[in-house]
């Protein structure tokens, strides 16, 4: 009974933090704001993910946090979320987690019509595993090539989108988050998926909010994402 009561208190405390403290905390960072989970931005997320097939076949998403960045010509949203699908075995069925981590969706002012995908090397090769219209793209950075595979429906576009600066930063981001990072470019948007099964923006209930060490991990994660997105130079046109 005591454990149940404690869990209830912790759950209610986290809800209170998200409702009253998080908006103020996130808004203190230049360009960032905390988004209500009932906003149109989050309500349309599932349909967008199904349409683009960014996470594969999913039947449900659960979003814990949504943080928005909007400054000058750079706009993107960060979702702390999970996605799963229904799996059947005989007469029984259950759910399989497909994604659990951070999803970043950035608006891109570059003009591109094709689809480009970056996948970790350790994941199955989509060219070999399925009949697709994608072609393997070979890039110049040997370290990047060692860690990632790139596929695209347009070889020329992909080379304009994936710059040397972005490749180098993606490697650093993968090392920091220690998770599977993939990227998806489609319909004028860029999806960055960090599948590491960690609640990045949860503040420990037993830590003081006036202690900068408590908040530092959250700020560092947000800054890492911002630096990665900045290397994409979203405001520039590809020149295609």
Q: In what order do the strands lie in the sheet with 32-34?
A: 32-34, 60-71, 74-89, 92-107, 189-195, 180-186, 116-120, 148-152, 135-137
- Domain parsing of the chain, residue ranges: 2-230
**pLDDT digit string (tens) for the chain, length 240 residues:** 445 554 554 455 565 666 667 778 888 889 999 888 877 777 889 999 999 999 988 999 999 889 999 988 889 999 999 999 988 877 777 889 999 999 999 988 777 889 999 999 877 665 555 546 889 999 989 999 999 999 999 999 999 899 999 999 999 999 888 878 999 999 889 999 999 888 777 766 666 666 667 778 888 899 999 999 998 877 665 555
Nearest to 25 by CA among 63, 73, 61, 65: 65
- Beta-ladder partners of 63: 81
What is the rounded (10 degree) CA torsion for 13, 19, 20, 25? 100
Query: What's the alpha-carbon Rg for the chain, to the nearest Å?
Result: 19
Per the document, the length of the chain is 240
Alpha carbon separation from 24 to 34, 35, 56, 61, 120 (Å, rounded): 8, 11, 35, 26, 36
């Amino acid at each position: 009974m005591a454990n149940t009561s404690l869990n209830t208190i912790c759950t209610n405390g986290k809800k209170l933090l998200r409702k009253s403290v998080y908006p103020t905390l996130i808004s203190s960072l230049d360009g960032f704001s905390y988004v209500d989970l009932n906003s149109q931005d989050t309500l349309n997320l599932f349909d967008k993910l199904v349409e683009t097939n960014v996470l594969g076949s999913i039947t449900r998403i659960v979003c814990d946090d949504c943080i928005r960045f909007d400054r000058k010509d750079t706009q993107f949203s960060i979702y702390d979320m999970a996605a799963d699908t229904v799996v059947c075995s005989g007469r029984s069925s259950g759910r399989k987690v497909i994604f659990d981590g951070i999803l970043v969706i950035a608006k891109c002012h570059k003009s591109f019509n094709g689809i480009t995908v970056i996948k970790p090397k350790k994941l199955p090769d989509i060219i070999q595993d399925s009949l697709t219209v994608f072609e393997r793209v070979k890039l110049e950075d040997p370290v990047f090539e060692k860690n990632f595979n790139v596929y695209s429906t347009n070889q020329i576009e992909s080379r304009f989108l994936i710059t040397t600066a972005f490749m180098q930063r993606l490697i650093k981001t993968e090392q920091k988050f220690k998770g599977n990072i993939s990227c998806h470019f489609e319909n004028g948007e860029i999806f960055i998926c960090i599948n590491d099964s960690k609640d990045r923006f949860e503040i420990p209930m037993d830590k003081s909010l006036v202690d900068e060490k408590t908040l530092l991990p959250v700020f560092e994660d947000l800054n890492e994402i911002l630096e990665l997105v900045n290397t994409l130079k979203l405001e520039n046109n590809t020149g295609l």
